Amino acid sequence: MDLLDDLKKIENEAEEELKEVESLDQLEELRIKYLGKKGAVQSVFSKMGKIKPEQRPVVGKEANILKNKIQNWLGEHQERLEKKAAQKRFEAEKIDVTLPGGKVEAGRSHPLSLVTKEMEDIFIGLGFEIAEGPEVESEYYNFEALNIPAHHPARDLQDTLYIDDHYLLRTHTSPVQVRTMEAQEPPVRIIAPGRVYRSDELDASHSPIFHQTEGLVIDKGISFSDLKGSIELIVEALFGKDRDVRFRPSYFPFTEPSAEVDVSCIVCGGEGCPLCSRTGWLEIMGAGMVHPNVLEMSGYNKNVYSGFAFGVGLDRLALLKYGIDDIRVLYENDKRFLHQF
Amino acid sequence: MQISYNWLKKYIDINFTPADLSEKLTMAGLEVEGVDYLGEGLDDIIIARIEKIKEHPDADKLVICMVKTGSDTELIPVVTGAPNVEAGQMVPFAEVGAVLPGGMQIEEVKLRGELSRGMICSKDELGLQEERAAGIMVLDDDAPLGGSFIKYKRLDDYIFKLDLTPNYARCLGMIGVAREIKSLYAQEKTLNTPPISFEEAEELGDINDYVEVEIEDPDLCPRYTARLVKNVQIKESPEWIQRRLKAAGIRPINNVVDISNFVLMEYNQPLHTFDFNKIKDGKIIVRRAKAEEKMLTLDEEERILDDEMLVISDPEKAVAVGGVMGGANTEVTEETTDVLIESAYFNPVSIRKTAKKLGMHSDSSHRFERGVDIEKVIEANNRACQMLAKCDGARVVPGVIDNYPLKFEPAVITLTAERVNELLGIELEAAEVKESLERLGFTVEKTTGEGEFEVTVPSFRTDVEQGADLVEEIARVYGYNKIPSTRPISKQRGKRSPRQKFEAKVKKLLQAGGLDEVITYSLQDKKSYQDLNLTQFEDYAKFVSIKNPLSEAFGILRTTLLPGIIEVLSSNARRQGSEMAVFETGTVFRNKGLSSRPEELNKLGGGIFGQNNNLWQQGAPNFFALKGVLEMLFNRVQLDKYSFIADNDNRDFLHPGRRAEIKYDQTQTFGFIGEIHPELADQNNLPAGTTVFELDLDFLFEITAEKSYQYHKLVKYPVLARDLAIVMAEDIAVGDIHQAIRAKGGSMLKGLELFDIYQGDQIEDGYQSAAFELKFQAEDRTLTDQEVNERFNQIVNHLKEEYSAEIRGN
């Protein structure tokens, strides 16, 4: 009996049988069969006593080689089986990635807040601070100090809601101009967004409650051209580069010269359409050089300082920017509306 | 104010297209609100004559008019049902193919078998009147056959509607507008003011023989002029005057009234005409009214006057509220023969006060309160006399009474070119400054100063008081849009205040928590507070009422954000919204007593419905969802000493068992949260379980503002976790146990979280079980089991002693 032949035979059998192995259990059985204490390879070792001594090292070497070989085969095969098993498991764990994600509803900002914030950010970038003032105002701050004396026709420009003989609901954010000047020395650079009130019946374009932003810049040597340049920059930031801006003479008691600022219509671009009443222009803000009387009443030296002021209707801006055709929609807070922003 | 282009051209010969003029006026500061073409849609209407009328063979109410549109054109048959057609009438006619103002195109039709080839029009069909006309419009016999209806009726005119700001008082008259156009756009043209000449009836003597004027209160009436026209026949005005007035939007009445209105529109000078024979002794006294003095005004209203008002009176009675409205007792009527014309200057403030007090805003008061041209009152009076003199038989009494106690002193303003350039950011030569102002009618004299002028303000510029006003005038002449654009250099860094940043952060956090921002009205209906039972809470009943509210719906200032938020929630629920979560930041107002400034508080409020995660099995998913958002907010603004404490006797609008006060440091209440009372929820269309909160934003800012982020070294020693399940009486608040554990746990208790509460099987009635996870850790060493166990047992014992709580399972 040639043990070397036996080894060859074992090798061939093992190789063949390994091919049939499909599971880790079978693999273990095969390992026991060939490499176990009573396995095929061991049986060769146990027959070593019966062969010639000079053959023993040769057979021993070959038997060890075979043992390692089978061991490697088993290892490789085990890896293959494990990989296959994992694959199977992954397949079983497969999900439908097209199912919707967990519901996370982020709250929205009201469009008026969006517009206000946009304005604030533009102005902060230009070195402005944000000022505030009360909504219930005295006659003095709302009118007198803004060069609107009692019994002046300019009082008709704004229908006022009164609390009593002393107090009223501010009709504009302009009182913040005076309050700011009283509280600080020049230079001044503020905007003052806030809520204002008028005795206007509620309809698609009027609301007794609406929002404005006041702006005020005071320093030595501030000119009307500074006003123009600043406002043009703001209009560009709000409406984009393609809009034309025009300034036309107007009247506000607290500015002189005063201007109304128009921007070329955002819908028709100036051709004329219903939005702009066929004029091609949209009125977006009032502005002007701070009236010397206002400077003086607020304690600033009108011969040393000059400045400009402006006022923008934020509701109107929101309507224009988002194409809303009815101011009441802003205050109805319909979820379907809020969730468009 | 509206002006006719054709009328305007009488005063200045301009040829701008209507669109161009509209633009020019707007850019001059006279904002044009709209331009109407009077002949709109009438281009196709021609003048025709009804030659003869035939009966309709098949209809009683229809006739066939044979119409001619030219001397040698054939007759056109027109079937009509108009009752007033007669042969020989000149009529407005639309031929086949013509389009009417409404857009209807005339076609050839058969009416009851008879051919009709055109339409004889009525006034309403031509858009000349609103109401349905009874028949066709009949023109005068001299109307040109075949001519254009527009031309014949002088409808080839454009009406400019001007929205004039108070500083454009001078443009409340045609001459003023013409002057403005000349100054800015047509300097080379002349201003054609009407040449005034008329015959005075010498034989009537002198006005002073008839009339005496005494001004008792020159402060209210610095100038009063009067003229007398006798033998006037009151009748309709000539067509051209009526046409002018209609174009200006004024209804023609009779020749005297129309002429005074015509002069008002022309000169911007209100006149008043009295029936002279009803003025006692021909004596006019201009005086303050007596207190409680009564007078019946032209509009048949009895007015009660006071001693701040100016009246025109005779020795017996007041005959007019000066500059505002005439009295019925001296009204010009059909019987009037002698007319006294008043042209005066009244104190603007006095006129405004009077008109306001009496609620009588008139074309006159509108002009007087803005200031008329005191130097032109006589010219306006003469103009009226000239026009009246043309009426049959009228004779003007020679002379004018001019009582002018307070002479006009023109303002003189000193101005330098340098200051003008500084303020406008332009570089005008001194001569250009001078020229600009002179164009506008200012008198400009150079002084000895460098580039300095003395500018005298003409009497028609009642709006100009100081240098800044002149600067605006120069800017208008220069052109606002030619002024260069520059930007001032900022010397400061722009920023939000800490308070503003805080509010922005709060908003962001609430949005991250899923709440939508809403903005609601701060004026509200008191009734909604009653409906929501809010007035029971004392602070919410401190209403600030509006003295002159638009309606009850906007009658008070909100004292809380709740009604607005609740309205948003309920209106959305009504629209089948299944869930909603909102917040609002805003001012609320509290009355602080008579004549005190109301308090303004910044609040944060919100509400939620439609949640269904039944956290802790309390059956209040909305409550705990909203509470969770608030806890997140407090944690993120680093507020730690807050607690939610059951609210036992406040706020009846909330569910008595589901409301809590939010307290700082156990003591200071700065807000609340709770379910709307089920009954109120039901009555107000709110889904059951709707939960709201409100808190004081300023307070929250105050107690958190100081904090800033500070890094703590990360602890590398292990955490030892222990679960603690206890059984205790069900009326013990879990929050109290939580606090007790935390207090007893000391600094080594790094984490404490409730993970279960339970009642039911295995728990005795009246008891509940609560399970917490406790995490122990030391910053400087690894804790031993023994240390942790000791601390754990101390906690257990404490709970046992204080709350009779037992470890569950023991």
CB of B575 within 8 Å of a chain A CB? The answer is yes
Q: Which amino acid is at B583?
A: F
Q: What is the pTM of this model?
A: 0.87
A221 in contact with B at a CB cutoff of 8 Å? yes
What is the DSSP pairing of strand B580-590 with strand B516-517?
A: parallel
Residue B799's CATH number:
3.30.70.380
Measured from the Cβ of residue B197, the count of other Cβ atoms closer than 10 Å reads 8
CB-CB: which of A104, A246, A291 is closest to B468? A291
Q: Alpha-carbon distance B688 to B14, whole Å?
A: 73
B463 is in an annotated binding site: yes
Question: How many Cβ pairs within 8 Å bridge chains A and B?
Answer: 236
Pair (B88, B224) in one structural domain: no
Q: Which residues of B151-170 are buried (b: 16+ CB within 10 A; e: fewer)?
A: ebbebebbbbebebbbbbbb
- From the list A135, A152, A219, the residue facing B600 with the nearest CB is A135
The single residue listed with the structure tokens 């200006």 is B248
Which region holds residue B369: left if phi is over 0, alpha if psi is between -120 and 50, else beta? alpha
Residue B484, exposed/middle/buried by CB under 10 A (0-12, 13-18, 19+)? middle
pLDDT beyond 60 at A224: yes
A333 touches chain B (CB under 8 A): yes
Residues B94 and B135 in one domain: yes
- Residues 59..118 of B with a Cβ closer than 8 Å to A: which? none
Cβ of A161 within 8 Å of Cβ of B548? The answer is yes
Report CB contact under 8 Å: B490, A126. yes
- pLDDT at residue B647 in the model: 85
Per-residue pLDDT at B102: 83
A189 touches chain B (CB under 8 A): yes
Per-residue pLDDT band for A42 (boundaries 50, 70, 90) equals: confident
Convert the pLDDT of each residue in B748-779 to its tens digit.
999 999 999 999 888 889 999 999 999 999 99
Kindly state whether A153 is in contact with chain B, defined as any CB-CB distance less than 8 angstroms.
yes
* DSSP secondary structure of A193-241: EEEEE-----SSS--SEEEEEEEEEEETT--HHHHHHHHHHHHHHHH-T
Closest by CA position to A108, among listed B481, B453, B516, B791: B516
CB A187 within 8 A of CB A300: no
Q: Are residues B796 and B688 in the same domain?
A: no
Residue B434 belongs to domain with CATH number = 3.30.56.10
From the list B367, B164, B128, B348, the residue with the least C-alpha distance to B261 is B367
Of the residues B516, B556, B569, the best mutation for testing chain A's interface (the one with the most A CB atoms within 10 Å of its CB) is: B516
Cα B380 to Cα B344: distance, rounded to the nearest angstrom: 10
Q: What is the pLDDT of residue B709?
A: 77
Measured distance CA(B246)–CA(B252) in Å, rounded = 7
Which CATH fold would you assign to the domain A111-338?
A: BirA Bifunctional Protein; domain 2 (3.30.930)
Q: Is A259 on the interface with B (CB under 8 A)?
A: yes
Mark whether B162 and B77 lie in a shared domain. no
Q: Are residues B424 and B395 in the same domain?
A: no
Of the three residues B403, B426, B444, the one that is the final residue of a domain is: B403
Give residue B320's pLDDT: 96
Contact indicator for B401, B208 with CB cutoff of 8 Å: yes
User: Measured between alpha carbons, how far is B110 from B491 in angstroms, rounded to an integer?
Assistant: 83
Contact A127 B493 (CB under 8 A): yes
Of B402, B483, B469, B479, residue with least CA distance to B169: B469
pLDDT for the residue B706: 64
| Cis peptide bond N-terminal to B563, omega within 30 | no
**Same domain for B478 and B503?**
no
Determine contact: B616 vs chain A, CB below 8 A.
no
The reply to whether residue B476 touches residue A249, judged by beta carbons under 8 angstroms, is yes
Please report, for residues A169, A282, A314, B523, the alpha-carbon distance to residue A210 in angstroms, rounded to integers and kept in the order given.
Answer: 12, 18, 8, 11
Which residues of chain B neighbour A136 with C-beta distances below 8 Å? 544, 557, 589, 597-598, 600
For tokens 């005008």, what's the residue?
B428
Task: Using alpha carbons, select from A295, A257, A258 the residue that is nearest to residue A147.
Answer: A295
Q: Which residues of A touch B468 (CB under 8 A)?
A: 256-257, 289, 291-292
The annotation status of B58 as a binding-site residue, yes or no, is no
Nearest-CA distance B738 → chain A (Å):
30
Report phi then psi at B676, rounded to 5.
-60, 135
Q: Which of A205, A247, A255, A242 is nearest to A228 (CA)?
A: A247
Q: Are residues B371 and B249 in the same domain?
A: yes
Alpha helices (runs of H) in B513-611, residue ranges in sequence order: 526-531, 562-574
Q: Which of A228, A232, A308, A339 to mutate to test the interface with B (most CBs of B within 10 A)?
A: A228
pLDDT score of B762: 86
Contact by Cβ (8 Å): A44, A67: no
Q: Which of B663, B680, B704 marks a domain boundary? A: B704
Question: Which residue from B166, B497, B598 is facing A130, i.e. has the nearest CB?
Answer: B497
Mutate one of B36, B350, B423, B510 to test the A interface: name it (highest A CB count within 10 A).
B423
| Per-residue pLDDT, B561 | 97
Tokens of B575: 């629209």
Q: At what angle do helices B255-267 and B239-247 cross, to 10 degrees?
A: 50
Is B31 in contact with A260 (Cβ distance < 8 A)? yes
Which residue from B199, B228, B197, B278 is spatially nearest to B397, judged by alpha carbons? B228
Give the single-character DSSP code of B643.
E
Domain shared by B219 and B291, yes or no: yes
End of a domain among B654, B679, B704?
B704
pLDDT digits (tens, 9 = 90+) for A119-136: 999 999 999 999 999 999
- Count of domains for chain B: 6
Set of chain A residues whose Cβ sits within 8 Å of the Cβ of B483: 224-225, 228, 247
Q: In this structure, is residue B712 part of a structural domain?
A: no
- Binding-site annotation: residue ranges of A: 256
Q: Indicate the pLDDT class of residue A179, thresholds 50, 70 and 90.
A: very high
Query: For the residues A198-203, what does the mean pLDDT come to?
Result: 92
Phi and psi of A335, rounded to 5°? Answer: -60, -35
In terms of DSSP bridges, do strands B339-345 and B271-275 run parallel, antiparallel, or are they unpaired?
antiparallel
Q: Which of B423, B466, B469 is nearest residue A306 as measured by Cβ atoms?
A: B423
Q: Do B488 and A108 touch (CB under 8 A)?
A: no
Q: What is the 3-state secondary structure (H, E, C) of A144-173?
A: HHHCCCCCCHHHHHCCCCECCCCEEECCCC
Do the domain assignments include residue B714? no
B793 inside domain: yes
Which of B352, B370, B597 has its CB closest to that of A167? B597
Same domain, B574 and B598: yes
Q: What is the CA radius of gyration of chain A?
A: 44
Q: Which residues of chain B have pLDDT under 70?
A: 706-707, 809-810
The domains of chain A are located at 3-92, 111-338
Domain boundaries, position B478 = 412-482
Asked if B166 lies within 8 A of A335 by C-beta distance, the reply is: no
Note whether B511 contacts A: Cβ–Cβ < 8 A. Answer: yes
Q: Does B481 contact A247 at a Cβ distance shorter than 8 Å?
A: yes
B29 touching A, CB under 8 A?
A: yes
> What is the rounded distance in angstroms from the CA atom of residue B392 to the CA atom of residue B385?
13
Find chain A residues with C-beta within 8 A of B601's C-beta: none
What pLDDT is recorded for position B336? Answer: 94
B531 and B598 assigned to the same domain: yes
Statement to judge: residues B585 and B651 lie in one domain = yes
Helix, strand, coil percentages (3-state) for chain B, rounded to 5, are 30, 25, 40
Task: Quote ipTM for the complex.
Answer: 0.88
- A295 and B423 in contact (C-beta within 8 Å)? no
Q: What is the pLDDT of residue B577?
A: 82
* B23 and B69 both lie in a single domain: no
Whether A125 contacts chain B with CB within 8 A? yes
| The pLDDT value given to residue B707 | 67
Asked, for residue B190, whether it belongs to a domain, the answer is no
Nearest to B91 by CA among B34, B156, B22, B140: B140
- The pLDDT value recorded for residue B809 is 65
Of B31, B349, B577, the CB nearest to A151: B349
Which class for B71: exposed (0-12), middle (13-18), buried (19 or more C-beta within 10 A)? exposed
Q: Is the pLDDT of residue A1 over 60?
A: no
Q: Is the CB of residue B563 less than 8 Å from the CB of residue B607?
A: no
Strand, coil or helix: B111: strand
Chain B residues lying within 8 Å of A124, measured CB to CB:
494-496
Q: Is A143 on the interface with B (CB under 8 A)?
A: no
A291 pLDDT higher than 90: yes
Helix axes B417-424, A224-239, angle to 10 degrees: 10
In the numeric block, which tokens belong to residue A81?
């089986």
pLDDT of residue A63: 87
- CA–CA separation, B644 vs B202, rounded Å? 98
Contact A228 B511 (CB under 8 A): no
Angstrom distance (rounded) from CA B777 to CA B773: 13
